[in-house]
Structure 1
């Protein structure tokens, strides 16, 4: 995928997907598309990856996404847990409490607590994984203009040296942040609640003599506050000072002065300012996520208050939802209409999370519970969801729900988990009990669809301790698990093959027999 380096190239580079923006959203999408063999080019106007700790929390559902994308071990090794919050008054700690509720892992939820991972390290890990998959980011290049026709998007890319390149892509994805130039070029409006005006100073700073066992918070007389969070994997703190009515100064000397003024810290304790920025509270959501062959994802589609740590996680999951659908259309012949389900599924999720983060922002409540882990997100009313069973228990797993994990064993006795079976860009048919399902009749080959039998006459997996039964029920039942880990279809065994074939037809285009 060579790009010409003359000042105004007449050569046109063809790709399947052009992604504008190399933040967490764009990089996660690039990873998912790369493992599907989709030709993708990511362009980023900055000369390198973004600096700053910014969003620091990986929620449990995002950890499941990272496990599937091959990132979780690296993220956990680079990150850590959040310490307890210490409240300061008059130069001493007056109280300590858990800000994030601690939850024990279970067989169905192996990743149960938020992992702290500074965003600059997060994007480094995402970029490293993208390179492992031969993905590409073109830094120092901005999407200058674009147009679309019935077949593709034609984009003009401009480098810092004035070089202009033309790329023609089947689809364009805007992952270029809250001030998205793509969204503005489309004329797509943003709507949402008006947050109280004000400004805060956000900075990553070296601090001497402040313990790293607590997340420090100082209440201020004007109703604001200052905080200092020791960042896992680093020797500095993320600091946040919400005390300004006008634009705060982000120069290092001004940052140090502000921290000394609003905390008990002496000026000489505050050292190097690694990165700084101004935060202004904003909230909103795009009126639409798709315009023809152009999609909005991440902050380009929705902006949240950082309260609750939902923005980055929602953005990565946008990419995870869109990635497999683009892969199905571009590589497996699915109809373009499948891509309409991206907005139908993800926009209501963003609306709910926008409501939650705005409520937390306005309330000032600091404690965070399981409701923010995003494990309960699902698509029960979505256009891709088929629940064909009746008389279900109120607590039963249903189509549209997140597919839970479950420890089990292979037929040969090796310990494994359902997440191991689901990992990869494929769909999974989970057949529980003696379903009589013949995989050879299904309209998809093993590159797209894997059948996993639990129990029955020829099991692939053995439910040794009953964890599969606890999560999915006793069977005989057939579940179709989407590549993004949600239950697309749940059906009793009797007519499961026909129902599976009908469901798969919307994902694979023209029916094709399974490989032997």
Structure 2
């Protein structure tokens, strides 16, 4: 791999990642495990709490976290999505389980959405980054950004100058990187849709449901309370009008909670991450300008409905990581152009889905919301009938009889080739002959991938090409 040189005039690192939220941390973990030199900058002070915020982790995101080596602590500290319990005043009037847990299958090991507060997701990813030898430079704000044909120059608030081969802005909806690049951010901000948000500790509330208080006459939500898994906290939200100036103190939250729920005896004993949230629905005009790219909320912001924002952002980073690493290792620069081509249409679809849910359209929580149907079919890296589709998992065994999953084979920074049926085994990538290297004793591999041919699985768990032609496969590999 091409490493940054210490010679005068050479870049000081491969990639600068601006922002240490779920997007930036996912990207940093993915890059560092590939041997890429990374600086992660975040203007927030160390220990800053983002609160619960994006707390629904979809099944496809759990598969990403499996590959990155953090699925254990994610699932150990997460919780099942609670049932919805609707109140009119003090009276419960409706109960529904919108995300009932689903049993795993050979193809889908993590079929259910789980609840995990964003602060804990960030901590788990940050711990993984540290384990791999990386770190986050907190309290480091980007104040200037320039680039030329060969590098990006970043200046921080302390006056440090960092020169890198690429930079990725994962610095949120108000992204300094995006604004510096003058990338348009088309969409809308709904000034009439404002929420008071906060993580509260309060006694006397049940923890086995997502509780919502409504005004049935005006058809309005008055307040919503989620129990945060493995915590004494609840996530509280309440809509306010455009003209209201809320009291974001502990006493203010107590008054609002009592008023909106009708439960006068409730006492708030703790408060974290209070804020006022305005629903914004926006999509960047482009994801790249030269050697600078944007990802996550810097490229798209969603309504919270349907838990699409954080999950779409993690997928951005997962798509970009392997492409950046390969270009840094000598792959064609055009590979980076496929990032926007693949990810921007996905963000547009996710924005439409979350907006429809926000506007009250009833949508079943299925493979669209879980992002299990996420596909790049028809895109620049998709070849063959299933090129671009998510690569399913499957239970199987090694030649010596050890039980494993295909996800164990796919895990890591490399592409993986499945060889089904007779035929030569091409070189250049890790290859597994089904029936010899991997025993399909349950028939799950063939059920997912067919009986014959070659299936190349990209490093991000999507099928690159499925073909019966060695020549077509070799030509595809040359492009990545």
Distance in 2 (CA, whole Å) between partners of 1:186 and 1:66 is 31
Alignment of 1:335 with 2:332, yes or no, is: yes
> How much does 1:118 deviate?
0.3
Runs of 4+ in 1 over 6 A off after TM superposition: 10-13
Number of residue pairs matched by the alignment? 470
Do 2:198 and 2:271's aligned partners in 1 also have CA atoms closer than 8 Å? yes
Equivalent residue runs for 1:381-460 within 5 Å: 381-387=378-384, 398-437=386-425, 439=426, 442=427, 444=428, 449-455=429-435, 459-460=436-437
Alignment of 1:118 with 2:117, yes or no, is: yes
Please, which of 168, 187, 197 is the counterpart of residue 173 of structure 1? 168
Distance 1:368 1:241, change over 3 A: farther
> How much does 1:383 deviate?
0.6
> How much does 1:242 deviate?
1.3
Alignment of 1:42 with 2:7, yes or no, is: no
2:232 maps to 235
Distance in 2 (CA, whole Å) between partners of 1:426 and 1:11 is 32
1:368 maps to 365
Do 1:11 and 1:165's aligned partners in 2 also have CA atoms closer than 8 Å? no
> How much does 1:61 deviate?
0.2
Distance 1:45 1:184, change over 3 A: same
Please, which of 440, 457, 460 is the counterpart of residue 484 of structure 1? 460
> Which whole-Å deviations, capped at 9, do the CAs of 1:19-47 have from their partners, x for residues lacking one?
11000000000000000000000000011
Distance in 2 (CA, whole Å) between partners of 1:344 and 1:485 is 17
> How much does 1:504 deviate?
1.0
Please, which of 469, 474, 477 is the counterpart of residue 504 of structure 1? 477
1:70 maps to 69
Do 2:81 and 2:100's aligned partners in 1 also have CA atoms closer than 8 Å? no
> How much does 1:243 deviate?
3.3
Equivalent residue runs for 1:209-248 within 5 Å: 209-220=204-215, 222=218, 223-246=220-243, 247-248=245-246
Do 2:191 and 2:278's aligned partners in 1 also have CA atoms closer than 8 Å? no
Distance in 2 (CA, whole Å) between partners of 1:295 and 1:485 is 22
Please, which of 249, 252, 255 is the counterpart of residue 250 of structure 2? 252
Unpaired runs of 5+ residues, structure 1, are 2-9, 390-397, 508-516
Do 1:202 and 1:276's aligned partners in 2 also have CA atoms closer than 8 Å? yes
> Which whole-Å deviations, capped at 9, do the CAs of 1:244-284 have from their partners, x for residues lacking one?
33342322211111111101322543221122111101000
Distance in 2 (CA, whole Å) between partners of 1:111 and 1:54 is 22
Unpaired runs of 5+ residues, structure 2, are none
Do 1:202 and 1:277's aligned partners in 2 also have CA atoms closer than 8 Å? yes
Distance in 2 (CA, whole Å) between partners of 1:96 and 1:123 is 32
Question: Match of 1:184, SS?
Answer: helix
Distance 1:366 1:245, change over 3 A: farther
1:54 maps to 53
The alignment's TM-score, normalised by the length of structure 2, stands at 0.95
Distance 1:231 1:11, change over 3 A: farther
Do 1:101 and 1:368's aligned partners in 2 also have CA atoms closer than 8 Å? no
Distance 1:370 1:207, change over 3 A: farther
Do 2:254 and 2:267's aligned partners in 1 also have CA atoms closer than 8 Å? no
Do 1:52 and 1:118's aligned partners in 2 also have CA atoms closer than 8 Å? yes
> Which whole-Å deviations, capped at 9, do the CAs of 1:59-114 have from their partners, x for residues lacking one?
00000000000010110011110111111123121221112244332110111000
1:463 maps to 440
Do 1:260 and 1:267's aligned partners in 2 also have CA atoms closer than 8 Å? yes
Distance in 1 (CA, whole Å) between partners of 2:149 and 2:11 is 18
Distance 1:365 1:236, change over 3 A: farther
Q: Which moved more, 1:81-90 or 1:17-26?
A: 81-90
2:182 maps to 187
Do 1:44 and 1:138's aligned partners in 2 also have CA atoms closer than 8 Å? yes
